[in-house]
């Protein structure tokens, strides 16, 4: 993946809270498309190997959540976290992390991740097909900047983290803003 590439146009199957539904599970299915998430907006998308995993839950997701105001100051309209997990898992993780600023995108079947060229096999740790860790600045559906962790390969023995960290992406946004000014 690289700057200038349009993100794949797919449909994501999400579960959203619906107050008109009574009972202990007030959610309904709602399909969302790539256009719903990316068209007409400048966003940061970061993708990671799995909800509830250590690096993702301790550093990456909280970093983006806590830095949301800084990203907004640099012209970012939304911050999205994607994982090859279903909507039930992503919603539970969002509640667990008490998210207010970052929105989760479930790529349960890995279709978007595969079309982005980032689907890897992580069977060596019992995950199966998952996303390689990356982040991107996406402007109106087109990749503006790409941040991929080094060493992408199936069954990688480690989980590199740094290139897709919120601090790295925010530093790039500030540099890009200064270059234009």
pLDDT tens by residue, 39-58? 999 999 999 998 998 888 88
- Catalytic residues, which ones? 56
Q: Are 122 and 49 in contact (CB under 8 A)?
A: yes
Span 1-25, average pLDDT: 88
Q: Indicate the pLDDT class of residue 27, thresholds 50, 70 and 90.
A: confident
User: In the chain, what percentage of residues exceed pLDDT 70?
Assistant: 99
For 89-137, what is each residue's pLDDT tens digit? 999 999 999 999 999 999 999 999 999 999 999 999 888 999 999 999 9
pLDDT at 1 over 80: no
Per-residue pLDDT, 74: 96
Q: Which long-range contacts (CB under 8 A, 24 or more apart) does 10-15 make?
A: 10/34, 10/111, 10/112, 10/115, 12/37, 12/105, 12/106, 12/107, 12/112, 13/87, 13/106, 13/108, 14/87, 14/105, 14/106, 15/87, 15/88, 15/91
Span 17-27, average pLDDT: 84
- Return phi, psi of residue 29, to 5°: -75, 140
Give SS3 for 162: coil
Sign of CA dihedral 33, 7, 125, 163: negative
Model confidence, pTM? 0.93
Average pLDDT for the chain:
93
pLDDT at 181 over 80: no
pLDDT at 78 over 70: yes
Dihedral angle computed from the Cα positions of residues 74, 78, 84 and 88, in that order, rounded to the nearest 10 degrees:
150
């Amino acid at each position: 993946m690289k700057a200038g590439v349009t993100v794949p146009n797919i449909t994501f199957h999400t579960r959203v809270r619906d107050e008109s539904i009574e009972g202990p599970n007030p959610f309904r299915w709602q399909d969302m498309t790539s256009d719903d998430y990316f068209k007409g907006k400048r966003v940061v998308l970061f993708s990671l190997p799995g909800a509830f995993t250590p690096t993702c839950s301790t550093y990456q997701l909280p970093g983006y959540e806590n830095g949301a105001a800084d990203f907004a100051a640099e012209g970012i309209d939304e911050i999205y976290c994607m994982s090859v997990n279903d909507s039930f898992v992503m919603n539970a993780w969002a509640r667990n992390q008490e998210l207010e600023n970052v929105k989760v995108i479930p790529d349960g079947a890995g279709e978007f991740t595969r079309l982005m060229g980032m689907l890897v096999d992580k069977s060596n740790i019992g995950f199966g097909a998952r996303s390689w860790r990356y982040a991107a600045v996406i402007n109106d559906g087109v990749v503006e900047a790409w941040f991929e962790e080094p060493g992408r390969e199936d069954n990688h023995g480690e989980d590199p983290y740094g290139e897709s960290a919120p601090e790295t992406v925010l530093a790039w946004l500030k540099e890009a803003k200064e270059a234009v000014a």
